[in-house]
Amino acid sequence: MIVGSQIYKRYPGGFEALKNVSFEIAGGELALVGGHSGAGKTTLLKLLSAIERPTSGSLVVNGQNLVALRPAALPFLRRNLGLVFQDQKLLFDRSALENVLLPLEIIGLAPREAQRRARAALDKVGLLAREKTNPIALSGGEQQRLAIARAVVNRPTILLADEPTANLDEESARQVLDLFIAFHQVRVTVIIATHAPQGLFPGMAARALTLRHGMLIA
C-alpha cells in the first residue's frame, strides 16, 4: 500500500516539480503515472524510491513514512522495491548473471542459493542463455529485461519503472511490458512512469495517475 498526501517537491532555485499531490495505490495494483515531459513523473518515482524526499507532505510506502525515514533505514526499504530505470543502470564490468546477483549479495544470500535465484530471474526474462554475456553486448530490449531481472530477483513487493520502453522498438517494448504484466499477476505492485500510458496495457485495468505541471489531474 502506498499513500501520498499533499506532497510538494521544490528544488533549489524554487522550481516546484510536484504540487499538492495526493494519491493511494493498493497492494498488487498496476498504476501508470502519465503526463508530458517535465510533468513530474520521474520526480514522483524518485520520491517513491526514496532517492529524493518530499519538501512537505507525507508519503507512506510499505507502512514507512519516507519523509521521516532515517538515512540508515533507506537501504532496507529499497530492498523491498524493484527499480527499473530508463537507462537501465547496468554494470558493464560484469556479466549479466553477476548484475542480477548483486542485489542478492547485498542481502547476504548464500552463494549457491543466490546463483539459483539469479538464474531463475534470468530465465523468467528469457536471458538465461546469455547469463555470461556482458550487458554491453545485449540489445536495448535485452538490457531492459536484464534490468527487470535484477529489479525482481529480491522478490520486491513494489516494482517501479521509469519510462522502461522509451528507447525500445515495438517488439522489445511488448516483451518488457509483458514482464510487468506477469509480475502484476503475482500481486506485485507495479508503478510505471510513461509519457504515453494510453494503450500500453490493452484490456487491463490499470490505474492512471496523470500529472500536469506537477499537479495530479486524474
Partner 1 sequence: MKAWLQQHLAALVRAARRLTDSPLSALLSILAIGIAMALPAAGYLCLDNLKALGANSGSAQQMSLFLDADANEKTRADIEKRLEALLPGQWRFISRDAALRQMEANEGMAEIVASLPKNPLPDAFILEPDDADPEHLEALRATLGAWPGVAHVQLDSAWIKRFDAFLRLGRLAAHLLAVIFAAGLIAVTFNTIRLQVLGQAEEIEVARLIGATDAFIRRPFCYLGVLQGALGGLTAALLLLAGTLALAPPVSRLAALYGSAFVLRGPSFLHALALIASGASLGWLGAQLSVRLIRDQ
- Counting every residue written for the chain, the total comes to 218
- Count of residues that bind partner 1 according to CB under 8 A: 26
Give the pairing type, strands 16-25 and 2-10: antiparallel
Contact residue for partner 1 among 10, 19, 78, 212 (CB under 8 A): 78
Q: Is 53 helix (H, G, I), strand (E, B) or coil?
A: coil
Phi and psi angles of residue 98, each rounded to the nearest 5 degrees, phi first: -65, -35
Contact residue for partner 1 among 24, 111, 181, 198 (CB under 8 A): 111
Contact residue for partner 1 among 9, 130, 150, 184 (CB under 8 A): 150
Stretch of residues binding partner 1 (CB under 8 A), selected from 2-10, 97-105, 135-143, 196-204: 97-105
83 part of the interface to partner 1, by CB under 8 A? yes
Contact residue for partner 1 among 12, 70, 110, 203 (CB under 8 A): 110
51 part of the interface to partner 1, by CB under 8 A? yes
154 part of the interface to partner 1, by CB under 8 A? yes
Phi and psi angles of residue 21, each rounded to the nearest 5 degrees, phi first: -90, 125
DSSP states of 176-208:
HHHHHHHHHHTT-EEEEE-S--TTSSTTS--EE
All residues at 6 or more sequence positions from 64 whose CB lies less than 8 Å from its CB, including other chains: 73, 77
113 part of the interface to partner 1, by CB under 8 A? no
Read off the C-alpha cell for 84: 527499473
Starting at the edge strand found earlier in the chain, the sheet holding 16-25 runs 16-25, 2-10, 56-61, 64-65
Read off the C-alpha cell for 161: 519503472
93 part of the interface to partner 1, by CB under 8 A? yes
53 part of the interface to partner 1, by CB under 8 A? no
Give the CA angle between residues 52, 85, 35 to the nearest 5°.
75
Looking at this protein, which amino acid is placed at residue 152? V
Least separation in angstroms between CB 215 and partner 1 = 27
Compare residues 105 and 123 and give the one whose CB is closer to partner 1.
Answer: 105
Compare residues 49 and 194 and give the one whose CB is closer to partner 1.
Answer: 49
63 part of the interface to partner 1, by CB under 8 A? no
Compare residues 113 and 123 and give the one whose CB is closer to partner 1.
Answer: 113
Q: Could you list the residues that contact partner 1 (CB under 8 A)?
A: 49, 51, 72, 75-79, 81, 83, 89-91, 93, 102-103, 105-111, 150-151, 154
